[in-house]
Amino acid sequence: MEPIRIAFFDAKEYDKASFDAANRGGCDIRYFDTKLNEATVRLAEGCGAVCAFVNDEINSAVIDALAASGVRLIALRCAGYNNVDIAHAYGRIHVVRVPAYSPYAVAEHAMALLLTSVRRIHKAYIRTKDFNFSLNGLTGFDLYGKTVGIIGTGRIGRVFAEIGKGFGMKVIAYDKYPAPGSGIDYVTLDELWARSDVISFHCPLTEENRHMVNRDSIAKMKKGVMLINTSRGGLIDSEALLGGIKERRIGGACLDVYEEESDVFFHDFSGHIVDDDTLSRLISMPNVIVTSHQAFLTVEALQNIAETTLANVEQFFENGTSENEICYKCAQITACKQDHTGKCF
């Protein structure tokens, strides 16, 4: 069989290194720096599959163009797929993903952000570079005995729960689909808002939970709460977050994702003016830490992403199906019970 030709969009140097290392010759990967969208979709002509990431725009027009050019598979090298019009893809093109690459990478980054914020490590680092060893303004607080509320108890959420327990924190959680036998103390969302000293988000983005952090939910939270988001930016209404910070209701925010990140994250704007006023205001806040969607970025995670993505592609073209295909037929996509022994259409 001839190598499977893949149009690889939004490619970074670390992507190329990990995918080249994992490719055993079964795929002809063509790397493109640009994102996949309506203006760039023509680059996939002549390819059997495209490989996309979180900020590629895979709407109905892109799906139609891909299908018309002969592309049979969209291979997402990520777990989330809120940037794909799943309903429109049904009957036109198949979609696979990487459901789990390294829950430890994301969960550990979430805790790293929290520790950095509450112990003011980022500020101390900057000071000592200038040989300023004053401790004024660096007072933090113990995590031990604090209550952490976890929203979403998939693999990442459960790993974060174990990390929190390791620090002596009390763990409560909310999930529409609780993990059976996990031993996690599940509570209602309102109870989680009210009880938590720290809230960490580890759930996929859906229309149902978009902007679940808003003015109303912030009003229900404990004053001084710390928010950590390493999941999807759209879970938090950024303007409401800014309001909560300015009103002193939110004690701090640790953000690895941002709802309007697609045109900003993964790029160097250090010599330019960023037009996003909301992001600029968030970054200017002394109790906000922003990282650029890097929670997944470990050697182990990159290796798993590359190996799983290429296995998905090869499995699909050899067998006509993949165990990691996203099922469009299921009304509750996140609770799909199909065993994927055949194609979804």
pLDDT digits (tens, 9 = 90+) for 37-78: 999 999 999 999 999 999 899 999 999 999 999 999 999 999
Q: What gap in Å lies between CA 232 and CA 258, rounded to an integer?
A: 7
Provide the residue ranges of all domains of the chain, joining segments of one domain with +. Answer: 4-101+298-335, 103-290
pLDDT digits (tens, 9 = 90+) for 81-98: 989 999 999 889 999 999
Distances in Å between the Cα of 162 and the Cα atoms of 138, 169, 244, 282 are 27, 9, 29, 30
pLDDT for the residue numbered 333: 46
- Which of the pair, 125 or 345, is modelled with greater confidence? 125
Terminal-residue alpha carbon distance, the chain: 24
> pTM for this structure?
0.87
What's the mean pLDDT in 215-224? Answer: 98
Catalytic residue among 94, 109, 293, 314: 293
pLDDT for the residue numbered 330: 55
Residue 287's CB is within 10 A of a number of other CB atoms, namely 15
Q: What class has domain 103-290?
A: alpha beta
- 40 Cβ partners below 8 Å, 6+ apart? 9, 32, 34
Q: What gap in Å lies between CA 221 and CA 196, rounded to an integer?
A: 7
Three-class SS of residue 250? strand
Residue 332 pLDDT exceeds 80:
no
Three-class SS of residue 311? helix
Is 103-290 in the same CATH topology as 4-101+298-335? Answer: yes
What's the mean pLDDT in 25-43? Answer: 95
pLDDT mean across residues, the chain: 93
Is 261 an active-site residue? yes
**What DSSP string describes 72-98?**
-EEEESSS--TTB-HHHHTTT-EEE--
The length of the chain in residues reads 345
**What DSSP string describes 12-64?**
-HHHHHHHHHH--SSEEEEE-SSPPSTTTGGGGTT-SEEEE-TT--B-HHHHH
Catalytic residue among 94, 97, 155, 232: 232
Query: 213 pairs with which residues across the strands?
Result: 236
Is 232 an active-site residue? yes
Is 77 an active-site residue? no
- Which of the pair, 271 or 199, is modelled with greater confidence? 199
What are the start-end ranges of the H helices in 201-321? 215-220, 238-246, 277-284, 299-319
HSE (CB half, 13 Å, CA atoms) of 177?
11
Q: What gap in Å lies between CA 291 and CA 226, rounded to an integer?
A: 16
Q: What class has domain 4-101+298-335?
A: alpha beta
pLDDT for the residue numbered 320: 84
pLDDT for the residue numbered 340: 52
3-state helix, strand, coil in the chain (%, to 5): 35, 15, 50
Catalytic residue among 57, 259, 261, 325: 261
Three-class SS of residue 229? strand
Residue 342 pLDDT exceeds 60:
no
What's the mean pLDDT in 149-157? Answer: 96
pLDDT digits (tens, 9 = 90+) for 101-133: 899 999 999 999 999 999 999 999 999 999 999
Q: What angle do CA 321, 345, 6 make, to 5 degrees?
A: 50
Confidence of residue 278 (pLDDT cuts 50, 70, 90): very high
DSSP state of 140: -
Residue 145 pLDDT exceeds 60:
yes
